[in-house]
Amino acid sequence: MTRELWKGNEAIAEAAVRAGLQAYFGYPITPQTEILEYLSRRMPELGRAFVQAESELGAINMVYGAACTGARVMSSSSSPGVSLMMEGLSYIAGTEVPAVLVNVMRGGPGLGNIAPSQADYNQAVHGGGHGDYPRIVLAPASVQEAIDLMGLSFDLAEKYRMIAMVILDGSVGQMMEPAEMPEMKPIVDRKFEWATNGAIDRERRILSSIYIDPPAEEVANLRLGARWQVVQANEVRYKEYFLDDAEIVVVGFGTAGRVALSAVRAARAQGIKVGLLRPITVSPFPYQIIDQLAGRAKAFLVAEMNMGQMLSDVRLAVRGRVPVEFHGRPGGMVPFPDEILREIQRVNSTPLSMTVDPVDGWLARMADVK
């Protein structure tokens, strides 16, 4: 396979096509519009469905309808647009149909800006739509990883009849990197036993998220919970850097993880025993490896492009055994390696308090930022 220079957003679109995407429904919003733009040309060329909906609400409900037929379907948007899709996402989850949603995150809250951000972590991982529902969330840090995770997202969504979200910040969407595309997969009728694709010569099937009878809804919730346990046991993915002898563990996903890698390398060059854990699945979250690392590391540093959202999950895994410090750049700012390097140096050389909340400590250090 040859490497080609791909822009993140276009690479995501082509990777989805090659994974057998049959229908795309979306609405333009920066910084993900290239996905829509690319597919508006590519999908009709292949005789597949592309619809620019009247709004994000329309798009996600078209995804819902198309997903019920068992087709490979997706939408993509950016933060404010994804917020609009949350009701539909909950219905998709409640109906237990597979769908893929890409969120190229931008600065918020509200209209915010179009700069790179990771502030929708909690929306994607912990909430978003109403009701109890699990969802798979993948967080690529490079163009190649975005390509690889697009194919995986469809497979996982179908395997677990679940939403698979791919969250990346605007910079991964906008950057160009050499990458290899997978082979074009043929469109396959997966003959799902649940798909409502025309009841010819078979019993009628019904897909719905309505369980008027609470005991039945409880059964449905418990079914999703049991399925999630299988996902947690089998689908955790992460990448480790210099962790073998690390006394300090930096945790960062997506672009913050990449920037942290530069900082970790620089700190290693200064003799600091520091490593990096970069979660690739942020849901299921890599609790187990963090739990293990907490048994031998002396401190953690979480780096994010938000106010400390994944931080909570890291603290949950560390369970108060060692200090967990935080450095974040919210609002569409991207940290530079030097800032994270300074934090690594601080964690390495100063006694850390177990009683100061890491966000409080970070906010005090951020007081100089105007």
Listed ranges 170-178, 214-222, 242-250, 361-369: which one lies at the site for another protein (CB under 8 A): 170-178
Closest to 18 in 3D by CA, of 139, 126, 134, 154: 154
Amino acid making up residue 105 = M
Site for another protein in 177-206 (CB under 8 A): 177-178
Stretch that binds another protein, among 85-93, 171-179, 213-221, 222-230 (CB under 8 A): 171-179
Per CB under 8 A, 334 contacts another protein = yes
Among 53, 175, 207, 316, binds another protein (CB under 8 A): 175
Angstrom distance (rounded) from CA 76 to CA 105: 11
Please identify which residue in 171, 281, 306, 348 interacts with another protein, judged by CB under 8 A: 171
Which residues are within 8 A (CB) of 271 and not within 5 positions of it... i.e. 6 or more apart? none
56/177 with CB nearer another protein: 177
* Integer CA distances (angstroms), 15 to 8, 18, 235, 266, 311, in order: 10, 5, 20, 34, 31
Among 338, 356, 357, 360, binds another protein (CB under 8 A): 338
Given a contact cutoff of 8 angstroms between Cβ atoms, the answer to whether 88 and 61 are in contact is: yes
- Report 216-275 residues binding another protein (CB under 8 A): 255, 258-265
> Judged by CB, which is closer to another protein: 173, or 284?
173
Q: Lay out the site mask for another protein across 105-134 (x = CB under 8 A, - = otherwise).
A: --------xxx-------------------
Residue choice 129, 170, 279, 308 for contact with another protein (CB under 8 A): 170
Question: Whose Cβ is closer to another protein: residue 176's or residue 366's?
Answer: 176
- Residues 288-327 interacting with another protein (rule: CB under 8 A): none
- For residue 106, give the DSSP letter: B
Q: Which two tokens stand for residue 221?
A: 């919730």
Show the 3-state SS of 173-233: HHCEEEECCCCCCCCCCCCCCCCCCCCCCCCCCCCCCCCCCHHHHHHHHHHHHHHHHHHHH
Instruction: In angstroms, give the least distance from the CB of 351 to another protein.
Output: 28
CB of 175 to another protein, least distance (A): 4
Burial bucket for residue 339 (CB in 10 Å: 0-12, 13-18, 19+)? middle
Tell me which residue has tokens 């960062």.
252
Query: Does residue 364 belong to the site contacting another protein (CB under 8 A)?
Result: no
Sheet holding 274-279, edge to edge: 238-241, 274-279, 248-251, 299-304, 324-328
Indicate whether 138 belongs to the interface with another protein (CB under 8 A): no
Q: Of the two residues 96 and 145, which places its CB atom closer to another protein in the complex?
A: 145
**Which segments of the chain does DSSP mark as H helices, in order?**
8-18, 33-45, 56-67, 79-84, 86-95, 121-125, 143-160, 170-174, 214-234, 254-269, 287-294, 310-318, 337-349, 358-365
Q: Which is nearer to another protein, 127 or 178 (CB)?
A: 178
Q: How many residues bind another protein (CB under 8 A)?
A: 27
Single out the segment in contact with another protein by CB under 8 A; choices: 217-225, 227-235, 318-326, 331-339.
331-339
Contacts of 140 (CB under 8 A, 6+ apart): 146, 148, 149, 166, 168, 172, 254, 280
Closest contact distance (angstroms) between CB of 5 and another protein is 6
Give the span between the Cα atoms of 293 and 300, in whole angstroms. Answer: 9
36 makes contact with another protein (CB under 8 A)? no
- Contacts to another protein by CB under 8 A: 3, 5, 30-31, 113-115, 170-171, 174-178, 255, 258-265, 334, 336-338
